[in-house]
Structure 1
Amino acid sequence: MPADSAAPAWPVMSIADANAALGGPGSPLEIRDGEVDGVKMKVYVNAPPTIRSILEMAAATWPERDYVVYEDERVTFKGMMRAVQHFAKVLRETYGIEKGDRVAIIMRNYPQWPVAFFAACSIGAIATPMNSWWTGDELEYGLSFAGVKLAVVDGQIYERMREHMKKLPELEHVIIARDKGEDHADPRVKGLETYIGDANSWGELDDIGLPAVEIGPEDDATIMYTSGTTGKPKGALATNRAVISNMFNSSTCQARMLLRRGEAIPEPDPNEQKATLLAIPFFHATGSFAILIPSMLRGDKIVAMYKWDAGEALPIIEREKITAVGGVPAIAWQLLEHPDRDKYDLSSIQAISYGGAPSAPELVSTIKKRFPDAAPGNGWGMTETCATATLNIGEDYVNRPSSAGAPPGAVELKICDPDGNTMPAGEVGELWCKSPSNCKRYWNRPEATAETFRDGWVVTGDLARIDEEGFLFLVDRAKDMLIRGGENIYCIEVESALYDHPAVMDAAVVGIPHKVLGEEVGAVVQLKPGKTVTQDELRAHVAGILAAFKVPVEIQFQDEPLPRNANGKILKPELRSRFTARA
């Protein structure tokens, strides 16, 4: 569809002109030539220097506003700051956590998650979130690989990792959030409430200030685990600048939509508070970098749920006046199609955005039909880019529903051939991204770092094309990975688990298209001669090794070898065609 078909006057400004206006002198989103880690690139002039500085600003500006709501627990910005102050002091003085030490956060989206995260960041430690769905073996690997000194976990995680702690000599301390006061035999284990009390009482804690620590934009802030073609998770190390630049990428894309409509960018209303229904984990780059920290910067409210359920979300949207929902396409579909949707007042919703999984182009038209005043949005980013690099919203998304959007002025994209040469517009190749929001490197993975991080560019492994106006279209993934409801699943990891069964000779994992989840895990297996195993037995075997979301929903068996090309590579497109898409 041509770009000017949404309305007679659309667009009134090109992408390039809108980016230039937003990045110009005097703009809140001003960009200038800078240098990051020795590489010249555009940087945001007005970006706060550190995550700690955002916390300090928010607590001073909106002390009595709700920041995090979880069931009957309501934590104001003041309450969050007080809890962070006290826990940061405990980390420094009681546990000896110093600048650069790794502090793991592994729990559900409880209010204690951001306390641990901001406390670590506020003293210069490296916050290291981990997937709360990981098995004990996976947690052991993550804790050991990052050399975590202290972990803040919930009770379920502690039970999962307890038997592995004897193999983690560097893990000196474990603090259990929402601890029920049990006496823990292990002297390394304490309850978080011992130090800060329950969430509803945090606002009553004394104002003791944050510990005095020098932190700058280029100091390391987080390690977010991702995965690679080896199947073992890699820790992507990000600086304060990288994490904060991500939210300025999003803000630029949102403001650009208004300029392309011909509308003025409104001044922030000091009396208006927006609210996000958090339906994805904080341990995702999206959950923490694109929701947790930006909400603090803007004075917004986050409403968390124990577990996502569309039916339970509907009354929360009405009660809390939720303005933004989304996360992954599955969540948007479930809200749009829930039979009780019309029983609730959902008129507060202003934005339905998602990313992290393939989405059907029909999703945007369905959103516009059922929520005509809400701006649909889709974007592209990855852990290595600290979440958002591009965002496609409003009329641009309606006109290009299969695009992930055009980059803001501080983000440079290019399409390269296998030798790293830039390809012309419209041609398909590998996507490279250069931005101040890019991670610094992989933790203790020099070879993987050299492969992915090149002179300020992230070599993404995604196959894509970019049109003449700069809109990004993802075509496929060069890396062997599928995404189920926003969760990255690397095929080789699941294949290795299948290979571990004594009856399996050969195995290949592919994505099965799914309307809501984007993809589910499918597998084709060749058994060893004379060996037998049922699909249920093999699924149970994989479930004993990997997290539940990685277990194949369907396994097909065959006697002949799996199809391969002349180089011995399995012909996965042929295998994918054997599976029927699921609703």
Structure 2
Amino acid sequence: MSFEAAAEHLLATEPRFALGEATVRGQRYKVFRNTPFHLRDLLRDSAAAFDGHDLLVYEQERWDHRAFSAEVCALADALQRELGVRPGERVALAMRNYPELPILILAVAAVGAVAVPMNAWWGEQELAFAVEDCGARLLFADRARRELARGFAGRLGVTVVAVRDAVAEPGDQHYTALRQSGDGAGWPDIAIDTDDDAVVLYSSGSTGHPKGVQLTHRGMISAVYSQAMVHAMAGLMNPPAAPVTRRPSALIVTPLFHVTALNASFLQGLVAGATMTLMYKWDPDQAVRLIEREQVTRFVGVPTQSAELLAAARRQGASLSSLAYIGAGGAKRPAAQVGELARAFPDANVGTGWGMTETNALGIVLSGPDYLAHPDAAGRLNPPLQEMRVVDEHGEPLPPGQVGELAVRSAANMRGYLNQPDATAETLRDGWLLTGDLVRVEEDGLVYIVDRRKSIILRGGENVSCLEVEGALHHHPAVAEAGVFPVPDERLGEAVGAAIYPHAGATVDVAELTAFLGERLARFKIPDHIWVLTGPLPRGATDKIDRRALRAACLEDGRSAVLHAKE
């Protein structure tokens, strides 16, 4: 089936994808009629449907659906009775990828409160800012984050609950004792509105203080079931050669304080009845071993992780034959990587996705033969709830083929930015969310991301896309990672700077690399300055390249190859 035919078939035959309409914050939207109303129901439905199967694996620890649900219920009970958590209250969660994090997110949501997972890569000032910004009086923290909280917990009047390896200090409580004090026999009996906030996720803060993105129960569930529909469509568009009998199993390799891991992996796994193996932090060799041990069928990470997984599998001589899907999100996958992954893992569907924290990770998708045929594309709009348009700088729609800012509209979009009404009004307009991404949409519906609106280099009156230059650099066989950024230039205003990290054992000749780029890019797009790094490019908490840190480090170093041949 085609993409459109598969969507129409499921809408006509699958009751869980049946559509209706609802008014949300004064706007009329398409919604699912038969999905759970809130996250507590989502977990309860999953527990009933998949009782007896493993749900979560962490190192040597395992939870089946019954044990996981009992832990959530016990924590929910203790949150109310021991800590006095009230509906609508925000509870801060600061830890790496421990099992306690998804348990706490669902327990907090189950009592009608709002979970606020904190970026585990933040320093003390950033963590203190977010805790104060969200107004949390409770902070669940692992050892490293408990140490950071020493500097502000007393000043902000925050009670700390020690988690996993953290030591409970005087005045603290410990997660283990709290869990043991709770009753895990029944679900909380608290009314939750589907349009109540469920989670606040903080954006990466690449342009200043991070913004708290308010995500509702309806928004999260709308996104998760929209993604589930696309997964069901994949089986209709590219039917497997033999019936699939293996249970779904996912490896979660990105942080759960990020929307990709939380929504597109963990909550998606609840809907699918998947066994989810949680990694504390990314390690490609360990990932290969876990995929083999747990017979993982689904891998989703940033593009660099796909490349590192492939390299690790080759080192270990592992086929990873259980993989049925290798997805990428958070950044655009280099086009050259698409075919390489498909050849290396012929039984796996290679895919990509675009989404934002503000959209609950819902957005644009592409996989299988369609992706192989269009490796530079971002994909097609994820049905069935979303609308999309491309607008100019005045917000006016543009015709197909023209570059403009992508705007999306659906019930999955955020409610707003916490405590930032001006930023909310600037981003959300009549239900449309302005994404900040510059795209073009072709007549066939394929969306191509040109760049971030604020990541364009203005070189002597010409616009240069960082993503386009990075894509060309990734085609060079010696380049493992590439990052492009503006460099101040007295004559041009901005010049094109690039930092590259070669593959192990490879050497890069800058003149040869420049000639290589000349076959793929216009002269004005070829980098004026190139830095060849001896280590991987710096990355933020969601494993995207940190352009600001990369640019600062390169400009401070100053020792680039300066190119003038193209002038």
Same fold (TM over 0.5): yes
TM range, smaller chain: 0.7 to 0.9
Matches within 5 A, 1:25-64: 26-64=14-52
Residue 251 in structure 1 maps to residue 228 in structure 2: yes
Aligned to 1:346: 320
**Is 1:106 the counterpart of 2:106 in the alignment?**
no
Measured in 2, the distance between the counterparts of 1:414 and 1:136 equals 40
Q: 1:264 to 1:358 in 2, by over 3 A?
A: closer
In the alignment, the residues of structure 2 paired with residue 508 and residue 80 of structure 1 have an alpha-carbon distance, to the nearest angstrom, of: 54
How far is 1:163 from its partner? 1.3
**1:378-437 Cα shifts (integer Å, max 9, x gaps):** 011000000131211112111111112111121111100011111001110000011121
Once the two structures are superposed, residues 315-363 of structure 1 have per-residue CA deviations (whole angstroms, 9 ceiling, x without a partner) of 2111111111131101100011226455335111111001101221111
Change (3 A) 1:190 1:465: same
Q: Is 1:211 paired with 2:188?
A: yes
C-alpha contact (below 8 Å) 2:93/2:139 kept by paired residues: yes
5+ long unaligned stretches in structure 1: 1-11, 496-505, 517-542, 560-574
User: 1:118 corresponds to which residue?
Assistant: 106
1:49-82 Cα deviation digits (max 9, x unpaired): 1110011122223333221111111112111111
Q: 1:184 aligns with which of 169, 179, 188?
A: 169
Structure 2 contact 55–273 (Cα < 8 Å) conserved: yes
8 Å contact kept, 1:242–1:439: yes
Which residue matches 2:55? 67
**CA-CA distance at 1:157 after TM superposition:** 0.7
Q: From the superposition, tell whether residues 150 and 260 of structure 1 become closer, same or farther in structure 2 (CA, over 3 Å).
A: same
Kindly provide the CA deviation profile for residues 517-555 of structure 1, in whole angstroms up to 9, marking residues without a partner as x: xxxxxxxxxxxxxxxxxxxxxxxxxx9xxx996743732
Instruction: Compute the displacement of 1:373 (Å).
Output: 1.0
Q: Under a length normalisation based on structure 2, what TM-score does the superposition of the two structures give?
A: 0.80
Q: CA deviation at 1:39?
A: 1.0
Alignment partner for residue 307 of structure 1, among 252, 256, 281? 281
Instruction: Look up the equivalent residue of 2:213 and give its one-letter code.
Output: A
- Counterparts of 1:308 and 1:248, CA distance in 2: 27
> Contact 1:250/1:390 (CA < 8 Å) preserved in 2?
no
Match of 1:222 in 2: 199
1: CA distance between counterparts of 2:495 and 2:61? 46
Q: State the match for 2:550 in structure 1.
A: 552
- Asked if 1:432 corresponds to 2:417, the answer is no
Relative distance call for 1:328 and 1:515 in structure 2 (3 A) is farther
Give the aligned partner of residue 4 of structure 1.
Answer: none
Query: What corresponds to 1:161 in structure 2?
Result: 149
**Is the contact made by 1:432 and 1:459 (CA closer than 8 Å) also made in structure 2?**
yes
Is structure 2 residue 121 aligned with structure 1 residue 127?
A: no
Are residues 1:379 and 2:364 paired? no
Normalised by the length of structure 1, the TM-score is 0.78
Question: The residue matched to 2:322 in structure 1 has which SS?
Answer: coil
1:468 aligned onto 2:443? yes
Separation in structure 2 between the aligned mates of residue 194 and residue 179 of structure 1, nearest angstrom: 14
Number of the residue aligned with 2:160: 174
| Structural mapping, 1:124-523, within 5 Å | 124-169=112-157, 171=158, 173-179=159-165, 182=167, 184-185=169-170, 187=171, 189-196=172-179, 207-227=184-204, 230-261=207-238, 263=239, 272-338=246-312, 340-341=314-315, 343-407=317-381, 408-480=383-455, 512=499
Check the 8 A contact 1:20/1:409 in 2, yes or no: no
Whether the 8 Å contact between 2:78 and 2:179 is mirrored in structure 1 is no
Equivalence for 2:511: none
SS at match of 1:468: coil
Aligned-residue identity in percent: 33
Structure 2 residues not aligned, in runs of 5+: 457-465, 471-482, 488-492, 504-539
Residue 53 of structure 2 corresponds to residue 78 of structure 1: no
Distance in 2 (alpha carbons) for counterparts of 1:284 and 1:321: 25
Opposite residue 219 of structure 2, the aligned amino acid is: A
Change (3 A) 1:377 1:98: same
- The answer (yes or no) to whether the contact 2:153–2:160 under 8 Å persists in 1 is no
CA distance in 2, matches of 1:479, 1:332: 27
Determine the structure 2 residue equivalent to 1:569: none
SS in 1 for 2:376: coil
| Equivalent position SS for 1:555 | helix
Structure 1 pair 229/61, CA: closer, same or farther in 2 (3 Å)?
closer
Q: Distance in 1 between matches of 2:294 and 2:183?
A: 29
Question: Could you tell me which residue of structure 1 aligns to residue 535 of structure 2?
Answer: none
CA distance in 2, matches of 1:139, 1:110: 18
Q: Distance in 2 between matches of 1:391 and 1:207?
A: 39
The alpha-carbon deviation at position 439 of structure 1 amounts to 0.7
Structure 1's 419 and 103: CA in aligned 2 closer, same or farther, altered over 3 A? same
In the alignment, residue 144 of structure 1 is paired with which amino acid?
A: E
Check conservation: 1:229, 1:479, Cα contact below 8 A.
Answer: no
In 1, distance between residues paired with 2:397 and 2:561?
A: 32
Residue 165 of structure 1: how far off its partner (Å): 1.6
My pick for the range that moved more, 83-92 or 421-430, is 83-92
- Residue 397 of structure 2: SS of its match in structure 1? coil
Which structure has more RCO (C-alpha within 8 Å, separation ≥ 6)? 1
Give the direction of change, closer, same or farther, for the CA distance of 1:37–1:314 in structure 2 (3 Å limit). same
Classify the secondary structure of the residue corresponding to 1:96. Answer: coil
- Residue 479 of structure 1 and its aligned partner are, at CA, apart by 3.0
- The secondary structure found in structure 2 opposite 1:338 is helix
Contact 2:161 2:168 in 1 (8 A): no
| Distance in 2 of aligned mates of 1:276 and 1:132 | 22
CA distance in 2, matches of 1:147, 1:389: 30
- State the SS of the aligned residue for 1:306: coil
SS in 2 for 1:474: strand
1:39 aligned partner, one-letter code: Q
Confirm or deny: 8 A CA contact 2:254 2:281 kept in the other structure: no
Give the Cα separation in 2 of the matches to 1:349 and 1:364: 15
Cα 1:414/1:462, change in 2 over 3 Å: same
Q: How many residues are paired up?
A: 494
Distance 1:317 1:105 in 2: 28
Contact preservation (8 Å) 1:179, 1:192: no
